[in-house]
Every structure is written in structure tokens, then in C-alpha cells.
Amino acid sequence: MSASSLPTVVVSAPLPADLRERLAARCSIIDVPAGQSPAQTLDAAQREALVGILCTMKTRIQRDELAALPKLKVVSNFAVGFDNIDVPAATEANVLVCNTPGVLDKAVADLTLGLLICLARNMVGGDAFVRSGQWARGAAPLTSDIRGKTLGLLGMGRIGREVARMACALGMEVIYHNRSHDEAAEREGLAQYRERDALFAESDFLSVHIPLSPSTRHGIGKREFSLMKPSAYFINTARGGVVNEAEMIEALKTGVIAGAGLDVMETEPLPGDHPLCSLSNVVLQAHVGSATVETRRAMIDLAAQNLLDAVGGTKPAAMVNPAVWEAGAAKA
Ligand code: DGY
């Protein structure tokens, strides 16, 4: 096939050289900087030809974007979350949405447990204690065991289950709330189900593992924080938008909860003068749950393969709206 007869795809994600070569053998690639709108960046002929987009969460694919790309078949997100894409609009437009589930569970679970231990053992405060020379004036304050404490998981998908496994191995009691009971996890003795309010009330550490969607946006706020113990910590490695951030900051400032470990915020990147940055009972990370060399490589491999499969007419491994694929297969 000549380069011009290859299907046109936009790449808006960091692509290792070997993967780029693999993609270039089967597609004509147009690079669009991450976060930039493909519809607004491409010229009319490119928009008309475009069949696939490989992008990160920074690229917003909404209804108007989809309407401007008449031949688009697939948006392959280099992330497990897909709140940057209007999935119902994509489904209406017969555009398949793909993501990267499974390959990042362990890395995100590692970071979740890292934040939990950091909070329980005051590791950030301990680092400052040593660096500032306070150690010479006496021992550091005592901290708390995590063993025997209760970890509440809001959301029991792949990542929640991985966190549950690790927390059980560390001797924690794990409880969870989810739309449906996870009978396998209960049978394995990983976690026990609780109603939502009971989860907030009983947890010593409450960790969030739900996706961001119109129905979960700002679902955690003043009411939920007031249910929590004043000694409890809140951990979020999912999406900042699931929390009412102003109400969380108020709860952290007024001692309604003891502290928080946050990898995600409503505004990312978080500006250095944001109120969260001045709270000493908060440990912050820069949305790095999946950001290890090995995990990001596995994610981009899967995202690129999803794109190639969808463009080439093979069923991709990870589809968010498989109805689009099934409808296409039924027609063929
Ligand atoms: C995801 O995959 O959704 C992560 O949040 C991106 O790091």
C-alpha cells in the first residue's frame, strides 16, 4: 500500500520509536501535540480522512469534535479512565472508544498503599524533621500502625481489588462499597461489603477507586467527610473531580478528618499557590499512579494495539463501548 492509501490516524500520545515504526507500517500518522484538539488542528482533507486517534486524557473528545470527523472509527485512550471522552456521543456516532485496563492496577495500588503508609507514619513530616535538625533536640513524635486498622474502598474494580489484596497482606481489615457486591472478593476473604455511609463512618483510611462520570462528579463532599472519624485519612488516586475539593479542604483545615493523600485534583497540573499546597496534613503527588517506566510501556503497547486492531477490523482487547463493535460486526 502506498503511504497515501494507508488509513490516517492522529497520534497525541508519547509513542516509543519501535511502536511508531509498527504503526507507520500500517497507518499514515499525523502528530498532534497532546491536549490539542485534532478537529481544530487538522485541515479539511485530513479531517475527512481521519479514522483513528491515539490520545492521552489531555485530549478532550466531545460531541462537536466527533461531528467534525466523519470517518472516525476509533479513539484509543492511553489511560484506563476515559472521562476526557463523551462516550455516549461516541457511541451515537459509531466511534469505538478503547482504554488500557488491567496493566496499571498494580502500579496504582502501589501508590495508594504508599500514600497510606506515608500518612500513617508521617513520612513527609519525618523527612522535614531530620532535614531541619530537630532530631538533635529529641526523638520524632510517635506515629500509628496500619496493621489492624480498617481500610475502606469506595469502588471495587480491578484497582480496588489489587489494593484490597495488598492491604490484607499488611494485616489491615478491608471493607468496600460498590454498585454491586464483589462476591469473589468476599469469598476470598479480601473485603467485606458495607453500605456507603457505613464505609465512610468505619474507615481509618478511605480510598477512592471509582471512575469520574456525570453521576460521580462531586459525589464526595461535606456530608461524607462529616461521617468520617476525626482520626481518619482520605486517599484519592482515581480522579479529582469525584470530590468536592472546596469541601474537602474545609474538612482538612477544620480537623473534620486527619489528613489526605492525593494523587489527583480537580485542577491538574495543580498550581503551586493552590490552597492544598499549604496544608501540612496533606501528601500530594502529581497524578503519577500509573507513571512507572514498565507500566506506561504496557499501557502504550495496549493503546497502540487497540488502535491498530480497530482500524484494521480486528476486535480490540479493551473496548469501553463494545456495542459499537458488535453493531459493526452484525452489519458485516
Ligand atoms: C489512567 O489511566 O486513567 C490514569 O489515571 C492515567 O495515569
Task: Let me know if 287 is a catalytic residue.
Answer: yes
For 285-325, give the DSSP string: --S-TT-SHHHHHHHHHHHHHHHHHHHHTSPPS-BS-HHHH
Nearest to 58 by CA among 109, 104, 110, 13: 13
Q: Which of 47, 161, 209, 287 is catalytic?
A: 287
222 CB contacts (<8 Å, ≥6 apart)?
A: 244, 247, 250, 251
Shared domain for 112 and 254, answered yes or no, is yes
Are residues 80 and 43 part of one domain?
yes
Residue 269 inside a domain? The answer is yes
CATH number of the domain encompassing residue 22: 3.40.50.720
The 3-state DSSP class for residue 140 equals coil
Sheet strands side by side (includes 96-98) = 28-31, 8-12, 50-55, 74-77, 96-98
Q: Supply the pLDDT for residue 330.
A: 72
d(CA 323, CA 320): 9
Q: Are both 115 and 128 inside the same structural domain?
A: yes
Cβ of residue 203 lying under 6 Å from some atom of ligand 1: no
Distance CA 231, CA 303 (A): 41
- Based on the domain organization, do 148 and 193 belong to the same domain? yes
- Give the chain's count of helices (H) and strands (E): 14, 12
Best of 108, 159, 306 for a ligand 1 pocket test (most atoms within 8 Å of beta carbon): 108
In a domain, 248, yes or no: yes
203 in a structural domain: yes
Residues 187 and 89 in one domain: no
- Which residue's CA is minimally distant from atom 7 of ligand 1? 290
Structural domains counted in the chain: 2
Domain-located, residue 1: no
| Active-site pick, 239, 245, 247, 266 | 239
Has residue 22 been placed in a domain? Answer: yes
Task: Give the range of the structural domain holding residue 96, as residue numbers without chain letter.
Answer: 8-102+294-330
Does residue 242 lie in a domain region? Answer: yes
Query: What strands, in cross-sheet order, belong to the sheet with 233-236?
Result: 192-193, 173-177, 150-154, 205-208, 233-236, 259-262, 282-284
pLDDT given at position 4: 65
Do 23 and 46 form a contact (C-beta atoms < 8 A)? no
Instruction: Based on the fold, state whether residues 224 and 275 are members of the same structural domain.
Output: yes
Q: Are residues 238 and 265 in the same domain?
A: yes
- Which run of H or of E encompasses 150? strand 150-154
Residues 113 and 89 both lie in one domain: no
Q: Are residues 154 and 247 in the same domain?
A: yes
Q: Is residue 3 part of a domain?
A: no
List pLDDT tens digits, range 158-184: 999 999 999 999 999 999 999 999 999
Residue 79, ligand 1, Cβ within 6 A:
yes
**Rounded distance, CA 172 to CA 165, Å?**
10
Alpha helices in 239-292 (DSSP H): 245-253
Ligand 1 atom nearest the C-alpha of 291 is: 7
Question: What does the pLDDT read at residue 80?
Answer: 98
The low-confidence residues of the chain, meaning pLDDT below 70, are 1-4, 331-332
> Is residue 136 a part of any domain in this protein?
yes
Spatial separation of the C-alpha atoms in residues 97 and 232, rounded to whole Å: 38
- Same domain, residue pair 111 and 68: no
- Rounded CA gap, 253 and 281, in Å? 9
Does 61 share its domain with 123? no
In this structure, the answer to whether residues 44 and 145 fall within a common structural domain is: no
